[in-house]
């Protein structure tokens, strides 16, 4: 099939899919009664502030979870038993208990008694900061396991060859192991970052005024429902879709280079 024919068939298939989605959307949303988008517009600033808080939470937790994941990776690969086993136990605890329980216990039992007053004195939003910390620890545990799997997949000959030319342990990781491991785990890392953004909605249980929290406030004030949750879904999609797209682009680029 020539390139022009392939483009034509892609356009036809795309138009057919869009038409089918439009029909489904009209049927589904047309069957729902009582829509009042004027209330959504009236409370647009409330929802927008929640969306911005979710962006801030996600960016902070993304950086924090990456740091936690790398530290857990290095800790598990350390030759020190006193460092290796605490990292392993922490990973197992985080992975085998629900995030909701971790948020409640972590906030009310651990971090809030220790940090809330100090953060308030500094003029910081204590719930936001503690929420970023808790989310970073949870997502960082999964990210650490992903990175460990990627590093362990590198053949032993790569390590030996790097040390044979005089690389230190840090140089081996930086110049040889990490670039190859990242290519192998990139889809899983991107998926974890997407999960991080979606998991941030659970921080509403400790009072963090993020997107899902503000949607609940909206429904409580207006007795509305779908008028808040449709923008909620679109807002999260706007945050997660670019990450998925970037992941596919990088994955394709790395695949073409190999």
Assign residue 167 the CATH number of its domain.
Answer: 1.10.3720.10
DSSP 28-66: HHHT-----HHHHHHTHHHHHHHHHHHHHHHHHHHHHHH
| 171 contact partners, CB below 8 Å, separation of at least 6 | 162
> Tokens standing for 176?
């040889």
Report yes or no on 14 lying in a domain. Answer: no
Report yes or no on 50 lying in a domain. Answer: yes
Report yes or no on 196 lying in a domain. Answer: yes
Q: Give this prediction's pTM.
A: 0.82
Give the chain's domain count.
1
Task: Kindly state the helix (H) or strand (E) to which residue 124 belongs, with its residue range.
Answer: none
Report yes or no on 30 lying in a domain. Answer: no
Report yes or no on 247 lying in a domain. Answer: yes
Provide the b/e sequence for 46-73 (b: ≥16 CB within 10 Å).
bbeebbebbbbbbebbbebbbebbbebb
Task: Kindly state the helix (H) or strand (E) to which residue 205 belongs, with its residue range.
Answer: none
CA distance 147 to 169: 17
At 256 the pLDDT is: 57
CA distance 61 to 131: 9
At 258 the pLDDT is: 53
186: left (phi over 0), alpha (psi -120 to 50) or beta: alpha
At 59 the pLDDT is: 94
At 199 the pLDDT is: 92
CA distance 63 to 71: 13
Report yes or no on 235 lying in a domain. Answer: yes
The distance of Cα 184 from the centroid of its chain, to the nearest Å, equals 18
Report yes or no on 130 lying in a domain. Answer: yes
Number of H helices, E strands in the chain: 12, 0
Are the beta carbons of 153 and 184 closer than 8 angstroms? yes
At 71 the pLDDT is: 92
Q: Which domain holds residue 69?
A: 43-257
Closest residue by Cα to residue 135 from 240, 60, 235: 60
Report yes or no on 176 lying in a domain. Answer: yes
Over the chain (258 residues), the average pLDDT of each successive run of 10 is: 72 82 69 68 87 93 94 86 88 90 92 88 89 94 90 85 82 83 85 91 90 89 77 89 83 65
At 107 the pLDDT is: 93
């Amino acid at each position: 099939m020539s390139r022009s024919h392939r483009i034509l068939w892609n356009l036809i298939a795309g138009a057919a899919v869009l038409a089918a989605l439009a029909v489904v959307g009209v049927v589904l949303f047309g069957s729902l009664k009582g829509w009042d988008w004027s209330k959504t517009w009236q409370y647009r600033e409330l929802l927008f502030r929640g969306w911005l808080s979710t962006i801030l939470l996600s960016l902070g937790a993304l950086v924090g979870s990456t740091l936690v994941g790398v530290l857990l990776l290095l800790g598990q690969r350390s030759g020190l038993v006193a460092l290796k086993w605490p990292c392993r136990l922490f990973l197992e605890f985080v992975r085998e208990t629900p995030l909701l329980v971790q948020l409640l216990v972590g906030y009310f039992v651990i971090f809030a008694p220790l940090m809330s007053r100090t953060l308030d004195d500094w003029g910081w939003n204590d719930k936001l900061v503690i929420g970023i910390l808790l989310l970073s620890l949870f997502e960082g545990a999964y990210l650490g396991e992903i990175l460990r799997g990627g590093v362990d997949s590198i053949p032993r000959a790569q390590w030996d060859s790097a040390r044979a030319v005089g690389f230190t342990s840090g140089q081996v990781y930086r110049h040889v192991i990490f670039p190859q491991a990242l290519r192998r785990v990139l889809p899983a890392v991107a998926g974890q970052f997407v999960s991080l953004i979606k998991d941030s909605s659970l921080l509403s249980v400790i009072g963090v005024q993020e997107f899902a929290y503000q949607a609940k406030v909206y429904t409580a004030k207006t007795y509305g429902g779908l008028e808040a949750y449709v923008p909620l879904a679109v807002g999260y999609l706007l945050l997660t879709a670019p990450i998925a797209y970037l992941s596919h682009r990088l994955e394709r680029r790395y695949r073409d280079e190999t």
